[in-house]
Structure 1
Amino acid sequence: MNLSIRPRRNRQSPAIRDMVRETVLTPGNLIYPLFLQEGDENTPISAMPGCQRWCLADLVQEAGEAHALGIPGVVLFPRIPDELKTPGAEECYNDDGLVPRAIRALKAAHPTLMVITDVALDPYNSDGHDGLVAADGRILNDETVAVLCQQALCHARAGADIVAPSDMMDGRVAALRAALDHADFTQVSIMSYTAKYASAYYGPFRGALDSAPKAGDKKTYQMDPANTIEALREAALDESEGADILMVKPAGPYLDIIARIRDASTLPIAAYQVSGEYLMIKAGAAAGWLDEDKVAMESLLGIRRAGANMILTYFAKKIAAVL
């Protein structure tokens, strides 16, 4: 053994470790997902400790506090009242709906805050699916894409900076780009959920929005967790159709997918640390088995190390304060 070569010399002090550190995590890499609901009250989410569905006024305040910590943007997820859910999901493109009102309020209060919106039908669809459902249970692709275009235009009119289609319908990125450009919203970006897997990690999120499918599952449109090459195909398609940012969801169990798409594309990569990932850390910390701040920080650093430029995480505000 050649003891003249000692890698530990580069680990011996905080100053040296800082200088040779290969991956850096800053608040600027974080995006804060926020749940919102109608009314004047906030509702804690039992399956996601520390998270809640915000009323509009408190949503604006929470987003402002996060932005002051250096977080550049938020992404919005609405809990839609049951009486507004329909098979055609018409509420998703109501210009006076919950999300457009939230966008306008956020942009008015915090002009430099980046507002990202989820483009999918599951919060609005009485069937609980990301797409329109045929009488025989099939998820209709092209008909869904037409509605998604109306939804994206609604968000753009309200002032959204980025629309994020999470539906996994074929061809939706090209259709959204054409619709936005035709309406002179060429400045609105598309953050495509490129590799969204049919994951068991989404459970707490669906409970928070009451958006679980009423029948069947999402395996005919979300990706098989066993597949890797398929993610590269999806990435190539989304890039060719005009996506500005490619997203992988979930993040932690799919670090290999983040890395492979990073190697295959020059576009920025986003990754979503989803509700199940968040809950496991929270539960471990609540039981006294984990240090929440340290494990959350390490998990996010791992996602950055895999190649993600930006991370959607419920820890965003907490970790930004630590950083």
Structure 2
Amino acid sequence: MDLQFTRHRRLRQTANMRALVRENFLRLEDLIYPLFVVEGSNIKNEVTSMPGVFQLSLDNLHEEMNEAVSLGIKSVLLFGIPAEKDEFGKEAYHDHGIVQEAIRYIKKNFPDIIVIADTCLCEYTSHGHCGVIEGEKILNDPSLDLLAKTAVSQAKAGADIIAPSNMMDGFVAAIRHGLDEAGFENVPIMSYAVKYASSFYGPFRDAADSTPQFGDRKTYQMDPANRLEALREAESDTLEGADFLIVKPGMPYLDIVRDVKNNFNLPVVVYNVSGEYSMVKAAAQNGWIDEKNVVMEMLTGMKRAGADLIITYHAKDAARWLREQ
């Protein structure tokens, strides 16, 4: 029988052959590990909806950081839960706020770790929104001043990278101006440039105690149905001075990751968010999936889509599995 066809399987015959032609790789350096720090002492509260993720007081942060460093993780992203909240989120930009103190602690004890500070107000406001409110309206421009103040206070504490996640119009420009004016022109901005109003954030709001007390965030976070809007958002942040572009969430938005990668020359970061993490954990605990293989496939898929870096709660497990390879 004279058949003409291509034998693709020639390059799949053995593990070494498959490794020889592998196109995308997940590295330890790609992983950014999110941490939730809280005021108080002797606190290590596991987040019910996120098995293996904890709210940690500073005295328990050392053990967690030791483990992360021993696994080869080189970057962490800090979220703070203050003891007190108010309408303007003042603890977000207090020089001795919980995130500022955590930054100082990590930079003193683990100076080589890259510390990324989430720059937002939602964990600190009594209403749970990411900006100043008037009635039930989230005000854009008055929020920018507070976000810039927060970024400067985090930079003063020693943050290596500022990561604003609030999605106010002009937030990158305001923060870049504030940092430059305060003498932090060399501190980069990792912008949550493309952040969707997603249902995948539910477990995070348990971890960060940041559920809105009224309404939702759809007037400032993006409509999940929109694609071209993501390019407009990323372009604005690039022109305003962003150094990294984040796409959030991850798995349902890999087409957006590829669009951003193809259209901009900045490092692209994808946030493998809490809902994605919790679904994998729940399925694994029920014996429905092989957790290791699913996680590594998922993270590799994000790299294939164009992500240079991945923010993930799976970071410690992924680091262990990478070291085993």
* TM-score > 0.5, shorter chain as reference: yes
Corresponding residue number in structure 1 for 2:37: 36
Offset, 1:2: 2.1
Offset, 1:59: 1.6
Q: Which runs of 5+ in 2 are unaligned?
A: none
Match for residue 66 of structure 2 among 57, 64, 75 = 64
State TM-score, norm by structure 1: 0.97
Corresponding residue number in structure 1 for 2:56: 54
Letter of the structure 1 residue corresponding to residue 264 of structure 2: S
Letter of the structure 1 residue corresponding to residue 271 of structure 2: Y
SS of match in other structure, 1:164: strand
Instruction: Decide whether the 8 Å contact of 1:80 with 1:209 is kept in 2.
Output: no
1:20 and 1:69 map into 2 onto residues whose CA distance is 27
Letter of the structure 1 residue corresponding to residue 14 of structure 2: S
Map residues 207-222 of structure 1 onto 2, 5 A cutoff. Answer: 207-222=206-221
Corresponding residue number in structure 1 for 2:131: 131
Offset, 1:60: 2.8
1:36 and 1:182 map into 2 onto residues whose CA distance is 29
Offset, 1:65: 2.1
SS of match in other structure, 1:224: coil
Offset, 1:58: 2.2
Offset, 1:204: 0.5
1:61 and 1:240 map into 2 onto residues whose CA distance is 40
Corresponding residue number in structure 1 for 2:106: 106
Corresponding residue number in structure 2 for 1:262: 261
Offset, 1:35: 0.9
SS of match in other structure, 2:159: coil
Corresponding residue number in structure 1 for 2:117: 117
Offset, 1:64: 3.0
Say how many residue pairs are matched.
319
Corresponding residue number in structure 2 for 1:235: 234
Deviation track 1:230-256 (CA, whole Å, cap 9, x = no partner) reads 000011110000000000000000000
Offset, 1:209: 1.7
2:192 and 2:91 map into 1 onto residues whose CA distance is 22
Corresponding residue number in structure 1 for 2:310: 311
2:225 and 2:69 map into 1 onto residues whose CA distance is 37
- Could you tell me the percent identity over the aligned residues? 50
2:53 and 2:294 map into 1 onto residues whose CA distance is 18
1:60 and 1:158 map into 2 onto residues whose CA distance is 18
SS of match in other structure, 2:76: strand
Moved more, 240-249 or 71-80: 71-80
Corresponding residue number in structure 1 for 2:94: 94
Instruction: Decide whether the 8 Å contact of 1:67 with 1:73 is kept in 2.
Output: no
Letter of the structure 1 residue corresponding to residue 214 of structure 2: A
Q: Which runs of 5+ in 1 are unaligned?
A: none
SS of match in other structure, 2:262: helix
Deviation track 1:10-38 (CA, whole Å, cap 9, x = no partner) reads 11111111110000001110000011112
SS of match in other structure, 1:160: coil
Instruction: Decide whether the 8 Å contact of 1:100 with 1:154 is kept in 2.
Output: yes
Residue 189 (str. 1) matches residue 188 (str. 2) = yes
SS of match in other structure, 1:163: strand
1:145 and 1:32 map into 2 onto residues whose CA distance is 27
Deviation track 1:264-315 (CA, whole Å, cap 9, x = no partner) reads 0000000100000001100111111001111011110111110000000000
Instruction: Decide whether the 8 Å contact of 1:153 with 1:180 is kept in 2.
Output: yes
Deviation track 1:213-245 (CA, whole Å, cap 9, x = no partner) reads 000000000000000000000111100000000
2:236 and 2:62 map into 1 onto residues whose CA distance is 36
Letter of the structure 2 residue corresponding to residue 203 of structure 1: G
Instruction: Decide whether the 8 Å contact of 1:204 with 1:276 is kept in 2.
Output: yes
2:167 and 2:177 map into 1 onto residues whose CA distance is 17
Instruction: Decide whether the 8 Å contact of 2:82 with 2:97 is kept in 1.
Output: no
State TM-score, norm by structure 2: 0.96
2:68 and 2:19 map into 1 onto residues whose CA distance is 26
Letter of the structure 2 residue corresponding to residue 121 of structure 1: L
2:45 and 2:218 map into 1 onto residues whose CA distance is 30
Corresponding residue number in structure 1 for 2:13: 12
Deviation track 1:171-218 (CA, whole Å, cap 9, x = no partner) reads 010111111111111121100001100000000000112210000000
